[in-house]
Amino acid sequence: MQPISDPKEYRELHANLKISAEFDMRYRGLLEFFGKDLISYKREHSPNQNRNEFLRIFSKYMTDYLEDHCPPSWKQCTPSFWEEFMFTYYPYCMHVTPHGKEVVKFLFQLKKFVKWLDKRAGTTWFEVIEKYVEESSFDLKMCEHLLNTLYLRDFPRIHHTDWKPKQDSDQIERHFNKYTETLESLFEITRITDDTVILTGLKSHRTYCIKGLPHKAVFPGLLMYGIIGKKDDDIFWNWCHTESVYPQRAKNYIIIDS
């Protein structure tokens, strides 16, 4: 990066830094093709918390997740760029909220941004996004519902002002200590039988019979990252802790460490 000597350029950089800080974009984003576009998009619209949250997630996808593999321009993006963002990165960032409407807000902001982007950059991504939303919005909503259900089970007062995180964490730790064997991994729900859920480890390809999952909130094809555990004399495993939940379409992009 060349040193800035022009006062006008300095003022512009300072203004851009101030705006980008509102959605936590890293400094490197200012040097990439997308940085000024994200800032311009925010400038052209009134302040909005949902828009800021969308821009925060999207900018981190570009700078933190893709990093050096980020495409060099909007026109050189591919459908898989958007698919990976929607179905792999976004579920990883999904928040647990009282009303469970984060997916609806996210998809609305995504469509609004891409429609603006097509006009600004001369791209034609809106039709692709609409197709993806139509095909898989239900799956994303189910991921959010399951994530919220499982977190509320572990942290029942998470949405209350008097919530005591340490108290819940201590209880979870005591629960963990009851098990003689635990496994942290990414699993796919492959079958549901009464109150038993059959999971398959994406790394090991082993199957596990699980108790303790809300069978009305799960369905085959969902991917779950978390921890299962059992005692020596147990036949079934128990679902112990949830990190994230993904739709089936994420399977094409998630990298499993060997």
- Do 87 and 98 touch, CB atoms closer than 8 A? no
Residues with Cβ within 8 Å of 22's Cβ and at least 6 positions away in sequence, in order, are 42, 52
Closest CA to 93 of 125, 67, 126, 55: 55
pLDDT of residue 9: 65
CA distance 237 to 211: 6
Q: Which two tokens stand for residue 1?
A: 């990066």
Residues with Cβ within 8 Å of 131's Cβ and at least 6 positions away in sequence, in order, are none
% of the chain residues with pLDDT over 70: 95
- Do 73 and 122 touch, CB atoms closer than 8 A? no
pLDDT of residue 258: 41
Tens digits of per-residue pLDDT, 48-62? 899 999 999 999 999
Tens digits of per-residue pLDDT, 119-163? 999 999 999 999 999 999 999 999 999 999 999 998 888 898 888
Q: Which fold has domain 175-252?
A: OB fold (Dihydrolipoamide Acetyltransferase, E2P) (2.40.50)
Residue 171 pLDDT > 90, yes or no? no
Tens digits of per-residue pLDDT, 7-46? 666 577 777 788 888 898 888 888 788 999 999 999 888 7
% of the chain residues with pLDDT over 90: 70
Tens digits of per-residue pLDDT, 207-223? 999 998 998 899 999 99
DSSP state letters, 191-232 = EEETTEEEEEETTT--EEEEESS-TTS--TT-EEEEEEEE-T
Q: How much of the chain is in helix, strand and coil states, percent to nearest 5?
A: 50, 15, 30
Tens digits of per-residue pLDDT, 64-100? 999 889 999 999 999 999 999 999 999 999 999 999 9
Domain boundaries, the chain: 7-152, 175-252
What's the one-letter identity of residue 12? E
Residues with Cβ within 8 Å of 240's Cβ and at least 6 positions away in sequence, in order, are 172, 175, 176, 179, 182, 212, 226, 227, 228, 229
Residues with Cβ within 8 Å of 152's Cβ and at least 6 positions away in sequence, in order, are 96, 158
What's the pLDDT band for 4 if we cut at 50, 70, 90?
low
CA distance 206 to 201: 5
Q: What is the mean pLDDT of the chain?
A: 91
